[in-house]
Structure 1
Amino acid sequence: MNYSYVIVGAGLAGITMAERLAARHQKNILLIEKRNHIGGNVYDSYNEDGILIHNYGPHIFHTNNKEVFDYLSNFTEWIQYQHHVLSFVDGRLLPMPIGVETINRLYNLHLSVFEFAQFIEQQREKRTKIETSEDVALDKVGRDIYEKFFKNYTIKQWGTDPSELDTSVISRIPLRFNRDTRYFADQYQGMPRLGYTKMCENMLKSKHIHILLNTDYRDVLDGITYDTLIYTGPVDAFYQYKYGKLKYRSIDFKMETLDVASYQEAAVINYPNDYAFTRITEFKKLTGQTHAKTTIMKEYPCFKDEPYYPYPTKEWLAKYQQYEALMKKEKNVVFVGRLAEYKYYNMDAVVEKALKLAENL
């Protein structure tokens, strides 16, 4: 069969591209996925106890982009959900991100919002040059807060000191000059009522979209006629590691189902200084599911073959730029997504990028 588009990777980027191109242009599309399921890392499923879990770690939808929210709302209803994260520091569970309530509980203070701003200003170690994630944190909150909340968590997460990491890593962590203890302040927040996988299935219902699972695209591409290739996989693999493998951080997920209705106070609790894992997620507190048991997930960052996070150091960003130079020379090949662009994307940013690319195509 002839296809207008072959899309490699059935994560959010590939699925969004497929849906838009099929809906707007009625083009025949082949979507190829090496895993045995669609959805990429937002894939969720019911475990053997009937509890809905996020197989690749917690995914919380949040955005200020009305276009993205309205688009995804065509394929799912939403459960209203406001994400709260606690961090276990000095034997206490404290709200994240850092805000008035966090500091008051940590130091047994009674600061107002105005006094909190003054307190942070006094704590800061002002930097004239911001070159690393450590610089960002010290300039933003000072050494004590940095060491209690961020330094060891970042070391566990990335396997290296924040002084070796690009500024983007800690820059993503917000600081709240108010009493809002939600992790995200975006206008649109929620969880797909029937899960992310069902949302993705709804996006792929067009008769013009054909799906191949459990398939390496390189095994079948030579036998396919197509006009444009849309690639969402690792860019170094696309070029057969011409400049060597790019570095990615991976995660070992350890699931436990417990014979209790509730395990912890919040859906996600961070452990920056204790234990080998970075955080524990309790899925029922994300999804709102009622069940006599509960499933938790502990995350152990590691270096393994499954790529999750592009590695944010100058060395690896420079190596990616070598591949980027090749990408720019391609004709009839479109690169999109976290792995193809070697860039950390939130879900809404992935969808936004895919929508714009589909519009241009």
Structure 2
Amino acid sequence: MFDYLIVGAGFAGSVLAERLATQANKRVLLVDKRTHIGGNAYDNYNEDGILVHKYGPHWFHTNDKGVFDYLSQFTEWRFHYHRVKSYVDGNLLPIPINMDTVNELYGLKLSSPEDVQTFFDTVKVQIDNPKNSEEMVISQVGKDLYDKFFKNYTLKQWEIHPKDLAASVTARIPTRTNRDNRYFTDKYQCMPKYGYTAMFNKMLMSPNISILLNTDYNDIIKEVSYKKMIYTGPIDSFFDYKFGKLPYRTLRFEHETFNQENYQGLQQVNYPNDFDFTRIIEWKHATGQKSNLTTITREYSLLADDHSDKYYPIPREENHALFNKYKAEADKIESVLFCGRLADYKYYNMDQVIARSLSLFKKETV
């Protein structure tokens, strides 16, 4: 008899398994379809000995000390600022847009935040209440910077025109008037020193946790005795798609290793206007690994089908309305708790899903 059957061994499932097992002395069965723990944060050493993230880059950043302290129980850290450049008009320019981006792109010599803000004020379109992603960007930096940095990148990422995407999609990317070229400004920016998989292994060491991998929970649910389920998979799948399928974006990756120490000089270069891929990741810049070889990953975005890994809920009103139908059904079931990006149909950063899981644990054990 298990106290909890937890479906999905990503961040949501693993955090809840760890807390319930170690803090509430509950017996937990953690089940995942994949052959490994860690969900999309899983990393491993490729055949060339380079540590790569199998499901795309996971750069940890948070202002939440509670989340940082929680994970610090299971890993040492490599503190590291995530920096990104965008390939625009033949140049590699800082993104988020800052003083250097504007100066290099337009051949200007702006030297103070006030100068940069004055520039933005002269080019931006006055929109008091941006209703979509396009309006959000042009109300901050104007049409030209929107066209060069955002429009085509958004089209590649979502296959939806920015006019038809929620303003929140591009609101996540700040615009700066200084020379700060960090992608994030959070207090804690770091990578697990030995990788995410090593961190998950420590997180799930409790003897109260049993793990079944390469297993669909539907195949074992009638054979397992448990008191309560925590479900972190796609909410529409749980209800057999009774209201229809929730759409997702998925990713395709091309990995390539070069017989050289360095390929592009930084961990991420975005390609908004050129090529079919959205970005190239060079892993060693983030992990700090030393090697005479280097591995890069080109990332392509596409619409998920029935066989795809699901990455990004698509932020449109009709999708949110469909999710709410499933949420209403989920709220009726006291014996199942729903948590995570797929179960909540919400784009969470890693720290957000950890905070959500810790909050659910506290609520469950009050």
TM-score, normalised relative to structure 2: 0.97
Counterpart-to-counterpart distance in 2, 1:306 and 1:59: 16
In the alignment, what sits opposite 1:100? 99
Instruction: For residue 129 of structure 1, report the CA deviation from its aligned partner.
Output: 3.6
In the alignment, what sits opposite 1:11? 10
Q: Secondary structure at 1:354's aligned position in 2?
A: helix
Instruction: For residue 177 of structure 1, report the CA deviation from its aligned partner.
Output: 2.6
**Gap regions ≥5 residues in structure 2:** none
**Gap regions ≥5 residues in structure 1:** none
Instruction: For residue 160 of structure 1, report the CA deviation from its aligned partner.
Output: 1.3
Instruction: For residue 13 of structure 1, report the CA deviation from its aligned partner.
Output: 0.7
In the alignment, what sits opposite 2:330? 327
Give yes or no for the alignment of 1:339 onto 2:350.
no
Counterpart-to-counterpart distance in 2, 1:40 and 1:207: 21
The residue type equivalent to 1:84 in the other structure is R
Instruction: For residue 184 of structure 1, report the CA deviation from its aligned partner.
Output: 0.7
Give yes or no for the alignment of 1:261 onto 2:264.
no
2:312 maps to which of 306, 309, 313? 309
In the alignment, what sits opposite 1:207? 207
Q: Secondary structure at 2:352's aligned position in 1?
A: helix
In the alignment, what sits opposite 2:143? 143
Bigger shift: residues 65-74 or 124-133: 124-133
Instruction: For residue 333 of structure 1, report the CA deviation from its aligned partner.
Output: 1.1
Instruction: For residue 50 of structure 1, report the CA deviation from its aligned partner.
Output: 0.6
Counterpart-to-counterpart distance in 2, 1:7 and 1:332: 12
Q: Secondary structure at 1:324's aligned position in 2?
A: helix
In the alignment, what sits opposite 1:62? 61
In the alignment, what sits opposite 2:192? 192
Bigger shift: residues 74-83 or 134-143: 134-143
Identity percentage over the alignment? 52
Q: Secondary structure at 2:240's aligned position in 1?
A: coil
Counterpart-to-counterpart distance in 1, 2:20 and 2:107: 56
Counterpart-to-counterpart distance in 2, 1:330 and 1:171: 35
Give yes or no for the alignment of 1:348 onto 2:354.
no
TM-score, normalised relative to structure 1: 0.98
Q: Secondary structure at 2:344's aligned position in 1?
A: coil
In the alignment, what sits opposite 2:360? 357
> Post-superposition, which runs of at least 4 consecutive aligned residues in structure 1 deviate over 4 A?
none
Give yes or no for the alignment of 1:33 onto 2:32.
yes
Q: Secondary structure at 1:242's aligned position in 2?
A: coil
After superposition, where does 1:61-210 map in structure 2 within 5 Å? 61-111=60-110, 112-210=112-210
Counterpart-to-counterpart distance in 2, 1:196 and 1:325: 34
- 1:121-141 CA distance string (max 9 Å, x none): 111112144221111111121
Counterpart-to-counterpart distance in 2, 1:318 and 1:360: 26
Counterpart-to-counterpart distance in 2, 1:15 and 1:179: 39
Counterpart-to-counterpart distance in 2, 1:115 and 1:106: 15
Q: Secondary structure at 1:68's aligned position in 2?
A: helix
Counterpart-to-counterpart distance in 1, 2:134 and 2:325: 27
The residue type equivalent to 2:210 in the other structure is H
